[in-house]
Structures are given as C-alpha cells and as structure tokens.
Structure 1
Amino acid sequence: MKLDLASCHQALQARDARFDGRFYVGVSSTGIYCRPVCPARTPRAANCDFFPHAAAAERAGYRPCLRCRPELAPGLAPMDAPDRLARQACARIEAGALDAASLMALAAELGVSERHLRRVVEEATGASPVDLAQTRRLLLAKQLLTDTALPMAVVAQTAGFGSLRRFNHLFQSRYGLAPGRLRRASPERAETPVPDRIELRLAYRPPLAWPALLEFLAGRGAAGVEAAVGPCYLRTVQLAGRRGWLAVQPDVEAARPQLRVQLSAGLLPVLSAVLQRLRRLLDLDANPEAIAAQLGRDARLAPLLAATPGLRVPGAFDGFELALRAVLGQQVTVKAATTLFGRFAARYGEPAQSPFAELRYHAPTAERVAEAPRQALIELGLTGRRAETVQRLARAMAEGQLRLEPGADPEATLVAMQELPGIGPWTAHYVAMRALGWPDAFPDGDLALLKALAAPNARALREAAEAWRPWRAYAAIHFWRSLAMGG
C-alpha cells in the first residue's frame, strides 16, 4: 500500500486488522512504534511517522511497543514487495541468510552486486539488508523474552547473536531497555532451566479457514510425518542437523487472531527458520481481504469465497518433501499418492521421537532418496519411469541445482523443473503454488479446474484465469475445495 498520511491514519483510527503488518506507525511524542491494531490511544496525525517495515521504524530511532508487540505482526505477503529481487533477498534474510554469511555472499547467490542488492532492498523496505537482519534477530529475542522463560543466554543464542554481551548492547541501544527489565515486567516469566518444549504465538490477517487448511494438509501428508488431531496440526521437523516436532492450533483465548505453537526444545538453534517455514506452510502472510476483493468480482468465485472465507494456499515446510509428494501424485488418486508417500517416509525417513503417537518418522531428505537404487524405489510401488523422475528430482535438489523455496524465481524454477524427465506443467505449477509460495501459479491443464469452469481446453482456462491475476493460485484452491465438497 502507498504510505500516505491520510489513509494510514484512517486505518490507525479504525484499528483495521487488514492493515496489520502492512505498515507501522512511529509516535514522535513517545519514541515508540506500533502496529495499526495497537489498543493504545490513537496519536494525533501530526505526531505520526509511517513505515513499511519494522526495521525502517527502528532505523529512524523508534522502539517497539510493549502492548501491540510488532514482532507478532503478520509479515508482508510475497506480492507486497514491488521488486522481485527485493522479495528474493528479503525471503533469504528472513530465513537467516545474514546470520552466518555476509551480504556479499548473498548478493553473489542472487547474481547481483552487493551495492545493487543494498539499493533495491532499501527502496523496497526503507531499511538496509543488515537492518532487516538485525531487526529480525532483536524482535525474535523480544518475543522469546516475553513469551518464554528461557535463560537469557539461550535467548541470545536462539535469536542469532554471537554473544550475550553483543545481544545486551544491541537490545539496550536499539530499544532503550535492558533485556532483563523486559522480563522482570512479566513476573510469571522468571528464568527457569531450559524446558523440553516452548510455546509461542504466530499472528495472521483474518479470516483464516483453519479446518479447511488442516483437512488439506492432513489429507496429503505422510502418515507418521504429519497429522491432524482435533483442531491441532502436528508434524516432525528436521533442519540443519536438528530434529524435533511442532504442534499448532488456533489460540481461541487470544484477543487477536493468532495461532499457538508448541515446539520441542531441540529446535531452538534453528527456531527462526522453523517459524518462517511454518508461516509459509500455513500461508499466514496472505492478505485474504485483498485476495477476496479481487477474486470476488468473478460470479463463479464469489459464492466459493463466501462459503469458505480465508481459504489459504497450503504451502510447504520443505521443498523436496512437497515436490516428492507432487510427483508421487501424478496420475493417481490422492489416497494412493498419500499411501506411496507414507512408504517413502517409513523406508527413507529417520525415526522420530515425540510425545505424539501419530508422529513416527522424519520426512525423507533429497540426499537420502538420491542414493536409493532405482529398483528399491520400484519395490515401493513406482513404475520405472516414475522412479527415474524421483531420482533425478532428488539429485537436482541434493546437488543444489534446483531450489524450491520462497524467493526463488518462479519462471526460472518452472523451466528447470520441466527439464527433469517426467515433470510437466501441472506438477511444476503445483510445486510453484506451494513450495515457492507463488500466488499467481496456475496449473491450467488440471482436469478438475477444466471441469469446474466447463473449459474445453487449457488455453480457454488460461484466458478465463487472466482476470484473477495475481491471485490465480487462490482461485484454483477454491475451485478444488468446491469440487471436493461436491459443489
């Protein structure tokens, strides 16, 4: 959105949740910056400065509000940033790319100069890449201090700071408040030994069709890797050598829309990356009001939007896991594909330990599957050609030739995927929808979509879908759900 004073202040006065995470307001009379849904008294327009990102507010000298907690605000959706390179860079930074590597290394990875990358990111966000990374670490630390009883040294390490001294200095200088004072403001959060699990909150823009999202994920996951128990989503996690589990469900007691997340303590060293992957799996950074406003102009979609408001495009926790599931699902039923995926998890996934009987395995990795003999894959129930496709996909990802994650270039990824034997446009677009989080991906050859729109061919379907840009993936998920529900 364009950050003009009048429109931002009107949204602030209304505490309109649709703008939460889309801008932040710095109040000059207090030196604090807030979310537009902050319950504090609305400041005068003359005392307000508006920023597109929390890092830009902090760069201007503002401290985060302790009431509305900017670290809980929904992030910007992939289509919100005006520049593709900026979106790619921000996604990598949010995943921790600058925690262990330099800006020069990130620029080289993205194929641009360090100077150009810095300029593009600053134009898109109002803050430098280093500012973005530092704000991400500080806000994660602030959330841990407020929501958990983790020891201070563990908070600093989990948030990505090299030392407790460095963390204390940056927190004090940026927020004007010692970390210990923030914790003492919450007596129930007195430090205790590291527990076996922690609990955090993830915010989102309402509405959220949680039952529909849960049904989709559980129906297409691998038995033993992920499951739905009542309103709770469960899954195992392995990332950067760390293994554990997580459980997510709506926080029905919260005043604002948010999910309650429990994670095993073994995931603390990779917590930032886990939370980011979880947000993209559940599509929590989507703006359902903006999507509905666009798609609702179509008479075929309007009743579907009304029937399931807040329907999200389920993402992917791991790109290879999703791509493998998509390949296994070619030309077979959802149930048959899920059975095949479960066999892969049992054969090539490592055993998992969790408090949930439903979670028994970690998802198979690209490296493990790439080493599997073709005959072993055939014995799981694959044809020879499908086994070759799985092998080539696993090797491409294990060797870094293919990246399936948000921030990757959609067009280039679609081309790269279709160069692999056995992967056509439908599979490539399905993976782009979910693993890349690309909201405009659209499998125009999908038989169910052709049926739903009574389109004679893929070309006619593409033409009909032009009006849905840039949210074609959301249109597809609504039609799929309608057909599944017998609509």
Structure 2
Amino acid sequence: MLLDATACYTALRARDSRFDGCFFVGVASTGIYCRPVCRARTPKAENCSFYVSAAAAEAAGFRPCLRCRPELAPGLARVDAERRLARLAALRMESDGLSDGTISDMADSLGITGRHLRRVFTGEYGVPPVAWLQTQRLLAAKQLLTETTLPIMQVAMNTGFGSVRRLNSLFRTRYGCNPTDFRKNVEARHDPAEPMTLLLGYRPPLAWETLLKFLNERAIPGVEYVDASRYLRTVSITHKGATHRGWISVSHRPARNVMEVTLSPSLYKVINRVLARVRFLFDLNCMPDDIAEKLGTMQIGGERVFEPGLRLPGCFDPFEMATRVVLGQQITVRAARTLAMRIATHLGEPLETPFRGLSVTFPTVERICSLERPIEDLLGPLGVVGARARSIRALAEAMRQGIIRLEPGADPEREMVRMAALPGFGPWTVQYLAMRALGWPDAFPHTDYGVKRALMGLSSKEMLALAQGWSPWRSYATLSLWNHLA
C-alpha cells in the first residue's frame, strides 16, 4: 500500500477520526510516531513521514507517542479495538439517544459485555456511557426548552428521561436551575397542532444552491420535493414499536449560519432523530476550510472546479437512497427517479400533507421483507428488471438482520466489503453508497459515467492516480466533477 504524503498531511491537520488507523506519522524533530488524531501540535510537513503500520514506523526508528498511544489505533493497527468500540458507542448514542434500548442492549449489539463497554468508554471519554448519554439528553432537552413550547412532560419523554422528576433533578444538579427557567423569555404559546421549527448550526461557508440542486435532481416525486429555497420530504420513523409519519421542510438562513427545520406535529415524539438525520443529510458537521485547502486548486482542463462550501449530501433514509442507487445502475438519474416513484406509489403508504409535491412515504425495510410474492413479480410490471429487484430484496434482508449497517458511525471499510457480497452490488454501487449512506469522505467511484466524462481521455489507472492527489476528500472531488459537467 502506497501513501500520498500530501493527502496524509491534510488528514493529519484535520485530525479526522475516520482516518485513525489508516496510517501513522513519524516526526523527525521528536523521534516519535503518532496517530492522525493526536491532539499534540501539528508538526511541520517537512518533519513528517507516513507509514501504513505501527511496525513500519518503529522499523524506521520512531518510538510510540505516549499521548495518543498508537497501540489503541483501530483499522490497520489491529492491536486494540477499544477506542473504536468507544467511538462507535458514542456515535450510536448521539444519533438516537438509545431511545429504543439500553446501554446493555448496545453492548450486546457490539458483541461485548456491558462491563467491558463501561471500561473502554470511561477510558476514552473520562466518564461512563450513562453519564455521557445524560449530557447528550440534557443538551437536547435544553434546545427543545429554548426553541419550542412543548410541554415539559413531552420534552422529558422525547429526550429519553422518562419522567419530569428525572429531568428536573438532572437540570438542578448539572445546570443549577429548573427546566422552566428556559421558558421565561417565551412570549407566545405554540399550538401543539401546528408545525414546529428548530435550528441547526453549521460552519460557513455553505454552497446551499449547489446542494439544493443536487437533491432536486435526485428527489423521488411524492416523497421529496425541492423548490427555489427549500427541501421538503415525507418521513417515516419507527420508535419503540410505533411508526411516526409526517413531513419536514428545511430552509437556509445564511445570516445566522443555521438551517431552519420545520416538522409536522406527528413527528414531535421523534424530534431528535429527525434532527440527527437532517444534520447528516446536509453534512452540517463538515469542516469546509480543511476541504478547501486540499481541493481549492483542483482543475479540469485548466479550469478550477471546486466550489467553496461544498457539502457531501448524505441521506435521510438509507434504504430509500440505496434503493434509488440500485435502480440507477446503468440508466439515467431521471429514469431512476421515475422507477423509485413507482415503487413508492405502489408499495409505500399514502400521506396527507399541505404540499402538493408530498403524498407518500417510501416503503420501509420491513415492508419489503414482508412481501409474500417474489419481489421481481411485484416490481417487474413497474419497469424494474428482475436482477435489480432481487438486489433490493437482498439489501432489505441484510439491513433487517443487522448484517449491513448503513448509518453514520458504521465502519466504511467493513460495510463496503459486506455490500460487495450482495448480488448486483458492484464497485460503483458500493462506492456511491459509501459516499452518501456512510458519509465516507474518501470514496471515489471511478467507473461512474459522469466521472469518466469529466476526466475524458484518461484510463482507469490514470484516473485513480490523479484522484490520489485529492485524497482524503475524494468524495468531495467527485461532487466537483459532477458539478463541473452540469
């Protein structure tokens, strides 16, 4: 495995945990080697050399850093997976607040005991998982108390406290006040039967029009709708055995560097899950300056193609997006939208909304898995060829059984290997899903028709060599190529 020094140094400066374990950096001025997530001051580029393993760094004469402890790095280091387990647990708690389970349930899903999870989590974050989760729930409750007029009881239930008494107790202990203190400046009462609006911040700049255009071109009619300034969609989220269906609208407020998320009253009980999915869909955790530093000079035919503030569009519903990707194999984006619309119309659930463009929720994994007839018999009359219909069914079964996890925080390399084992999942499909369903910043679907057109005249080997210079942000480079064609 060859490492590109410029790409590795870019990842080192960003301290992006997604590259932890992919390489190690030897620092000539100190004689030590570190992980790319080390919190020490970033060394000068001329003092850095990069290695694919800890053993290679030590063979070059470097000793391990006592601060970042290379022995704990995941991935290629393969010495200790404890840090990876702790981070994965934190990501899962951040995304859904463990509203459908407990710490012990999460430990079981990770294949470890609750005691081991508490030990590794405390070692990584300095607190046990239950204390970390309480902080996340308190912050979520504070946002709802500050930005909404939901009853205190509903705030407590939505954020996982279970009772107002528990919420009050923790607010007094942690913040020295009562939850109602955050309501003193609320001038008007919110009608619980009316839509509610909350805010999500981001780091500027943000290329909103480009992002909206990308989503508009791929929006499934009836499920998604994009107008001149907003993204709207239907929502179906299962929570504690109950399915909550409704709609959301997302607008941009550049003067405040926030996204404005409006949701229907039917989604109030899953507000935090909705916000987490919106944050992932619009890549709001992005560090635009780090990406611009690497891709700002990216050129095709002598013309610069990178747009500052470019975001990597994720997805709101991983199965919905993955189905559209499978349908889009070897056909146009518009044709794939049409097929996805037919599937939503025939197998989805009708939904009344105040918007003409939203009328149905996309069928869930459970809905596809419960089909009694062969799926090719159901999708064939809609224009879906048998091989792709069977691929959709195989994906649904793998997601239902937990064999494949398409969500933020999943291990991209592992999930990509598992997806490649599914029927009909070739390199393009796997790389595209790594970009949008897993949020992997360094995917590069070099077999994509648009990429080939943008890099016309280059062989596959030459394209891969060129793209190496865009690493570790090749997903953003791919978007830039697509935008350049448009």
Q: Is the 8 A contact 1:88 1:406 kept in 2?
A: no
Which residue pairs with 1:311 in the alignment? 310
Q: Is the 8 A contact 1:280 1:315 kept in 2?
A: yes
Which residue pairs with 2:147 in the alignment? 147
| CA-CA distance at 1:288 after TM superposition | 0.8
Q: Is the 8 A contact 1:281 1:315 kept in 2?
A: yes
CA distance in 1, matches of 2:244, 2:176: 34
- 1:134-153 deviation line (CA, Å, top 9, x unaligned): 12211111111111111111
* Structure 1 letter corresponding to 2:473: W
| CA-CA distance at 1:159 after TM superposition | 1.6
Which residue pairs with 2:160 in the alignment? 160
Which residue pairs with 2:78 in the alignment? none
Structure 1 residues 119-128 or 167-176, which shifts more? 119-128
- TM-score scaled to structure 2, two decimals? 0.77
Which residue pairs with 2:383 in the alignment? 381
Q: Is the 8 A contact 1:96 1:133 kept in 2?
A: no
Q: 1:199 aligns with which of 194, 197, 200?
A: 197
- 1:386-436 deviation line (CA, Å, top 9, x unaligned): 222222222222333222111111112111111111110110110111011
CA distance in 2, matches of 1:473, 1:261: 26
Q: Is the 8 A contact 2:288 2:309 kept in 1?
A: yes
Percent identity reads 47
Q: How does 1:303-382 map to 2 (within 5 A)?
A: 303-305=304-306, 308-370=307-369, 371=371, 373=374, 374-382=376-384
CA distance in 1, matches of 2:175, 2:159: 16
* Structure 1 letter corresponding to 2:173: S
| CA-CA distance at 1:460 after TM superposition | 2.7
Distance change in 2, residues 1:216/1:123 (3 Å): farther
Q: Secondary structure at the match of 2:290?
A: helix
Q: How many residues align?
A: 401
| CA-CA distance at 1:113 after TM superposition | 4.4
| CA-CA distance at 1:385 after TM superposition | 1.7
| CA-CA distance at 1:87 after TM superposition | 3.9
Which residue pairs with 1:422 in the alignment? 424
Q: Is the 8 A contact 2:219 2:226 kept in 1?
A: no
Q: Secondary structure at the match of 1:98?
A: coil
1:218 aligns with 2:216: yes
| CA-CA distance at 1:124 after TM superposition | 5.0
Which residue pairs with 2:55 in the alignment? none
| CA-CA distance at 1:297 after TM superposition | 5.0
Q: 2:441 aligns with which of 402, 421, 439?
A: 439
Which residue pairs with 1:105 in the alignment? 105
CA distance in 2, matches of 1:111, 1:469: 33
| CA-CA distance at 1:237 after TM superposition | 0.5
Distance change in 2, residues 1:118/1:292 (3 Å): farther
Q: Secondary structure at the match of 2:435?
A: helix
CA distance in 1, matches of 2:164, 2:463: 57
Distance change in 2, residues 1:397/1:333 (3 Å): same
Q: Secondary structure at the match of 1:95?
A: helix
- 1:338-369 deviation line (CA, Å, top 9, x unaligned): 11111011011100121111100001112222
1:288 aligns with 2:291: no
Which residue pairs with 2:3 in the alignment? none
- TM-score scaled to structure 1, two decimals? 0.77
CA distance in 1, matches of 2:365, 2:178: 44
Distance change in 2, residues 1:296/1:193 (3 Å): closer
* Structure 1 letter corresponding to 2:206: L
Which residue pairs with 1:451 in the alignment? 453
Q: Is the 8 A contact 1:426 1:444 kept in 2?
A: yes
Distance change in 2, residues 1:384/1:98 (3 Å): closer
CA distance in 2, matches of 1:211, 1:144: 29
| CA-CA distance at 1:120 after TM superposition | 4.7
Gaps of 5+ in 2: 1-13, 18-38, 40-81
| CA-CA distance at 1:235 after TM superposition | 0.4
Q: Secondary structure at the match of 2:458?
A: coil
Gaps of 5+ in 1: 1-18, 23-51, 53-81
CA distance in 2, matches of 1:323, 1:101: 26
* Structure 1 letter corresponding to 2:130: V
For the aligned residue pairs, the C-alpha RMSD in angstroms reads 2.4
Q: Is the 8 A contact 1:319 1:404 kept in 2?
A: yes
Distance change in 2, residues 1:383/1:188 (3 Å): same
Q: Secondary structure at the match of 1:208?
A: coil
Q: Secondary structure at the match of 1:468?
A: coil
* Structure 1 letter corresponding to 2:270: V
